Structure 1
């Protein structure tokens, strides 16, 4: 079960894999069942989520998920329930890691996409091949970073490989350019696709019973031996030069590299760190200008990430409200889809039919829709029903809260408009009474049955009557 919680870092900076409970279960045929799901969903491979037997490529996927989490600060897929995570695991593609860590090298992002492929055959085949690709990417980035360094000696080396950068005494340094570094990245991808073996380490135990592993190690050894190395013209002068080199020079060179390593480590940390609470909240809020359901649902990943990582942040309350809204939208869409799949309305439960009717009213009459949702809460809230009934009541209550907020905003806007029309009619009453009367009559026709406009309707009716009496009295005087 490869996941961050099972990876331990020793004081010698070695990674140890712990918790072999699942491995033990798989080794005991009396304790497992075909088709069962074992493992942590956040880091589980798609084939394990479907109950298929675990293979080495399942571990490759899990390791890719761990690498993704190290960069993004979250697993490839997040959700509020195990079924939701497993559904995403089986059918959805993870967000590119550079969405959360923008400065991740493109070659590393492509490698993660390979590790997280749904089809096991599209993944890097073995852990040794994966180590080889990571080493190649690191070497290419190191070469690119050190491009243009000057060396006081005629011998320039990178790492422990004598064939990289080693120069003969009469040769001149040939530093790799940015283009050649990019070629190294491409070669890493091409080489990994041709080889399944690379870089055996003394710290990595090799099982003698694995024929494929021995084959990979032999291929790697042959590959290293076939790489040409530069030959020294005169070994003895070189050895005398090494003996003459004083200890303080070696220490000075080592100490001089410390600031560079610290600086590079800081750059990598700040470049690859996941977003802060403030950054994530700002990113969510900046996308709320589009209040459409699709735009709101698109925020689900960021919202879940915020709630998972920042449980005590001041923005949490507003983010939780947004999460509730997302849940309501998803529940509504599932209900509508279920209704479309039914042969008739009678196939729906009474609660589902009532909810569907209330949902349809939202597009035409907010107040009436709110009344329907309130009635659903009143009728079904005290019912000792199943979990589906509880979900339906919770959905109705959330819809009621949203509608009441929308109705308040909608009402305020229209009341401002009607007050402006009433003011306009009053200004016309003296010199243009017919125009003023027309405005009052229009308000009565349009809003006589609107509860929210009852006060203005009453004022319009009263002023229309007063205006009519004034006009009648003037007509009587003229006669």
Structure 2
């Protein structure tokens, strides 16, 4: 990179360049008066000279003004030096998630959940005040030594209602952009949620969902193809997390989760549920717990392994951390600053060092009509006209004392609530509550029910639900594997797919095919294969279910499709939504003869849900 064109930008003495982005270059800088280290982004001349961009720059500063969250980089000021636009931001001490993924190849699913929860918190704050990031990617996420994730570079953020950015313009990184960003469709909050799904996919798989040799190839794949199922790449990932990631990666925005808050709540519930299952399993089996202490600690953050860092050609030094952050002594050598972490051109446009003052608001940039009157000016952030990190001049000692006590009270209240939530999470759920959750397709609840209440008369039914859900997952995986050709199917897998196809249309014939398949593979010699053993168990249960329906013999193909809709409704985690869908099927098709099998199944499932809810109400936990 070239040397800085100015010795000063506003009140900042400009240092060496840190990174270059699509809109400009970031320099290390120090406030000449306060000696506070910051990052200053100097907008490129070919961009800043356009009148339209100057108006867009003003909107971007407005968006940054509104952001005040520990997971989002802070802005300190902005201005113009001899006609060149710039703004100063917090330096973020840490390593980008992109570098972390490159070094570690992939992250474990526990760390992925923790990081995603933090990203959701930052996105929720931005979305609540009308800001869409539009370029969420691992390079724009920095992880500090305490595994606090900070979202940087809102340089192409868009305000709801502002029309400066044309819908469909490619203001994003192709590898992580949503399909609607490459078309004329509008950008919404769910655009960022798609990018969140891509980031989670990359953390687990080590790469973005879609890659190619050119941007055109990536965009074509983005609009046309489905990503390789993450559980094909990482079989250890829980099915609940796999399902959420692929929901986030849906092509149609309306099929994605509605808000960042909804995603965050699902992730938190998923984390608590999986941890609770692990805790219960440890209590139920002390021997296993003793042998598996490393896996039952509840520690979700993985310490990165040691690895070589790529030299970017600039002066840097890696961060140090006690456990999970980059290790002490790992360096990117140079002759300059010992504290800065450099970014490459594809890295975020904001870096960091040191502790900075509290987040404050920026004054709006001067309007276009004032551009000719002054080519050099700088506006600091204002909070009662105080310096960053300072105290407002009108604030008394008593006021500060009151604020201090208020903070202590708030912290105590938060701690108390946390203790209450922890105690609640550790309580053993009632069998009725777990049974109701199992009926909605919650695999965590199914596993907990079977472990905690093995003598409950409903265990057989829950086992059938669990095996049925596993069967659908295995069939989906084998179908995807066959279509993608990543790994050739074994004879047992290929024949398993064949005998399960069309089983709803003719239960008797399907049960006979399954029996023939079992006669071939159900032998003691074959049972050493764990995957085959699981397929045999699923085939036996499915055969029993089909034989119960044998008197129906062949049913109408339309009824088979309707039965699939019934089972899809059962996959919902919302009991009320499941009941609405089942009632709709019953009311719509109740008087049609060919639909009787599906209507009977929908009625049976609805009655089970009603009974479970009544038991739960009568016996609250």
Q: Report the TM-score, using the length of structure 2 for normalisation.
A: 0.27
Q: Report the TM-score, using the length of structure 1 for normalisation.
A: 0.33
Q: Which has the higher strand share?
A: 2
Q: Which has the larger radius of gyration?
A: 1
